[in-house]
Chain A
Amino acid sequence: MTGNAASAVETRNPRGWGWRMPGAPFVRSGQSHAQILAAWTMATMIVALAGIVLYGLSAAQVIAVAALTALATEASLSALAMRQVPGGLMHALVTGVLLGLTLPPTAPWFVAAAGGFLAILVAKWMFGGFGHHLWHPAVAGRVIVQFLFAQHLSFSQGLVQTPILAPGHLLVGQISAAVSIPAESYQGWSNTPLEDSPRAEAFLLERPVQVLRRMASGSLDVGFAEPWTTLLRDYLPPWKDTVLGTVPGGVGESCTIALVVVGMYLIYRGHLRWQVPVCVLASAALTAAILPVAVPHSSGALRMQWLPALVVEDKVPVGAAYVLYHVTAGQLMLCAFLLAGDMLAGPLTVRGQRYFAVGVGVIAMLMRLYGVLEGECYWAILIMNTFVPAIDRRTRRRPLAVEPAA
């Protein structure tokens, strides 16, 4: 697309050295959408690999089915619409892998397939395809299958405990050969023996997020003497496990360390603004630190404990540990580093992205503490995606020049 003047010149240029006539600028930064997509694909693949190591081949199956379905849907829809967008397939691949990362490794193949199909069809193509969608396709797909297949995805319907491969069985173990461990006798991932059941290759445990949700609603039996210490000692795995990812959860939700590493890589490449993860995590931590949690009182009733971050029991700052668990356990890290920073579904300006990220963190934590819907971080992202046009309108930069005097 050169200017009209330039193309007119080109036609009456009978000789010459074959000089081409583009308009200024004549150089480009060399950053292309293909590179951005390639970096994002690599980032999601690394997190997927971490998930496969932690949850075995079932996780690989979930990711592969989700990614292949997304790819096939994208290919057939673009053939049907006769509109090929360069990078469309790559974007579908990233969407599919991201969707796989949000699903539990126990999800049956048809859940992943339905998610991949619906993510591309409903959230992407029904809004006009690549570059036009309002909601993050992977997150929207995840929320839709949460409704369609609640019995396979919901904690309240049969998924009270979910598996994590035991030490010595990483990557090759079967999560179906899992043994249920009572919360009180669990000593952390590396310290809990599996000897009494030789066929077992995985632990069945409650997800830390679910424990934290039950704690907030007061349904966790922690006693009134030292409720926070009891929570940390008897119900939650060691904090180190939530960083390494050796806790039950979604395929890509639990491995904090992998998410931080790929997030840093994307920030280094300039494809993710550091303000997004920092604002998500900081606002979520602040919300968890301030908002009240129902803890048992000596009278037997529940009392609302405001500012839980400041709780100190027996000279141990247990409240701060509780906030740390909120940050590293579950979907928040995945949301902060891979889902909230998505270019297509997020605001344009840095200022807008800050507001967006703070909104995600606060809404996710509110839904985790007081909501009933599962997948709270995904809901938070969809809710904030809805506000992106409004955020964009309100966070425009002010032009440097002033209005000329009439």
Chain B
Amino acid sequence: MRRIADWMSWNQAFDGGLYLPDERARTARLPIERMAVGETLWVPLQVRGDEACEPVVTASASVLGGQLLAGGGSVGSAAVYAPTSGRLARFDRVWTAWHGFVRCAVLEPDGRDAWAEVRPFASATAAEEVREALPSAGIMCDRSGRSLHAVLVSARSARADVLIINGLETEPYLTVALRLLVERGVEAVGAARRLGEVGGFRRTVLAVSQRHRRLVRRLRDIARTSGVEVVPLPDKYPQCHPLLLIHVLLDRRIAAGGSAIDAGVCVISTATLAAFSQWMATGRPPVTRVLTVAGGAVARPGTYEVAIGTPIARVLERAEASDGVECVVSGGPLTGVAVARSDAVVSVLDTAVLALEAAPRPGPVPCVRCGWCIEDCPVGIDPTSLVQLEGRSACSAEELLALRSCIDCGLCTYVCPAELPLAESIARSRARFSSRAEVPT
């Protein structure tokens, strides 16, 4: 039915893409569950891949919840705060899914969860004042890996005029945005309005899945007078990608390899909006992550709110993952990264922890020319011919444009019946040829 709707252009949709199996039946209705902090937290002191934060506390000091642990380095990095009160035992290094080994503060919670003095913002606070306080808020945008403050600064300098709150999750399993909008809808719409004011955007759009009709109706009721547009979109993967949101909602195109900001649009995830909303309402910096914990190897899947620095093993234990876990993924099953070590901890960039059963797969066979990767590619490139760049030393301008257009959605590998690693090969070729193109010859 939805395919017919796409074909007849009843839906607002892009060419290509795929309706993936949902896998959310067990978790979509479960409320967000707060997970108690364990005996030790390894709080990563690095929120960006390229720079670490400088600690401002000394070892064996006792800290309060929300107390500054490490200051943000450059404008792109956010400050790190203590998730709860306790004793800061030592500084160590710990594995995170997205950045590998990073410096961490080993915190032993005392169980009191005493919080430092924080100051909420009154609803009438001027946008200017909020903007000035934002660098110390410690809010990270999970998708771009930059602080919310940095994103708003670059949006201002690029004269971005539209703010899109990305309430879509088109990958299987993920339920974070859905649960946040269901449980904290009023706060989300209010925060979206405030964020639009703070960033100086002319339009604020909240994109949600059109499949959740009751949620769409409710959000529309809430947003009636707030100036936030609630737009339902089909949950065809990868509609959640900023590039396609911009294409479908605003009909703007991005230069190959560019970001949404270049097109004058700022795209913020629902989790970031929720962190902003909490910071505005209570003054507390975000010290937890809302994670979907699911996957074939998990007995009690759900949406959990987990303190940053909690070992992923503990999260999986809470969700009753079986012992034979083959493959643990941070993020969605199509765009996430494998968690390489079992002692990894939850960091600020994690959106989901999936314990998947890696099925044994036969080795790749030659391309069977089914054309599915081309048909399903959301950005209209030709993965099966780009694979041939692997053995070549030069590529044409057309091929380079195609390589740079790729948004790493992984659909080509997902559909390939010949089990060819198409997305991986494109990413490799892009890295090879992009760097070469910048070197003057």
Contact = CB atoms under 8 A, between A and B. Distances in A.
Given A19-B327, A349-B375, A32 B362 contact: yes
A25 B325 contact: no
Interface in B339-371: 339-343, 354, 356, 358-359, 361-371
A27 B294 CA distance: 13
B369 A346 contact: yes
A18 to B, nearest CB: 7
Interface stretch (B38-46, B68-76, B329-337): B329-337
B374 A397 contact: yes
A16 B341 contact: yes
Contacts of A343: 368-371
A320 B19 CA distance: 42
Interface in B408-429: 408, 410-411, 413-415, 417-419, 421, 423-424, 427-428
B417 A25 contact: no
B380 A400 contact: yes
A33 B325 CA distance: 27
B242 interface: no
B341 A13 contact: yes
B428 A131 contact: no
B326 A18 contact: yes
A402 B256 CA distance: 6
Given A26-B333, A36-B417, A131-B366, A401 B404 contact: yes
The interface size bin for chain A is 35 or more
B254 interface: yes
Nearest to B381: A399
Given A33-B365, A405-B255, A15 B417 contact: no
A402 B417 CA distance: 30
Contact of B340 (A9, A130, A404): A9
Contacts of A193: none
Contacts of A19: 325-328, 338-342
Contacts of A399: 256, 379-381, 401-402, 405
A9 B100 CA distance: 9
Contacts of B190: none
A130 B368 CA distance: 8
A394 interface: no
Nearest to B254: A401
Interface in A16-61: 16-29, 31-36
Interface of B is mostly: loop
A373 interface: no
A271 B378 CA distance: 21
B414 A10 contact: no
Interface string B367-404: 11111101101111110100000000000000001101
Nearest to A87: B365
A131 B401 contact: no
A168 interface: no
Nearest to A392: B385
A26 to B, nearest CB: 5
Nearest to B262: A404
A141 B362 CA distance: 31
B422 to A, nearest CB: 10
A404 B368 CA distance: 33
A129 B342 CA distance: 44
Nearest to B410: A25
B366 A85 contact: yes
A400 B257 contact: no
B243 interface: yes
Contacts of B408: 24
27 contacts: A10-B340, A15-B342, A16-B343, A17-B325, A19-B325, A21-B327, A24-B337, A26-B329, A26-B336, A27-B333, A27-B414, A28-B359, A28-B419, A31-B415, A32-B362, A33-B365, A34-B362, A86-B362, A129-B366, A131-B368, A344-B368, A348-B384, A350-B371, A397-B15, A400-B380, A403-B255, A404-B255
Given A28-B419, A403-B256, 16 more contacts: A3-B427, A9-B100, A9-B341, A15-B343, A20-B338, A24-B331, A26-B354, A27-B333, A28-B413, A131-B367, A131-B368, A353-B371, A398-B380, A399-B256, A402-B253, A404-B258
Q: Which 9 A-B pairs have the closest CB atoms?
A: A131-B366, A25-B410, A404-B255, A401-B256, A401-B405, A348-B371, A397-B380, A25-B334, A16-B342
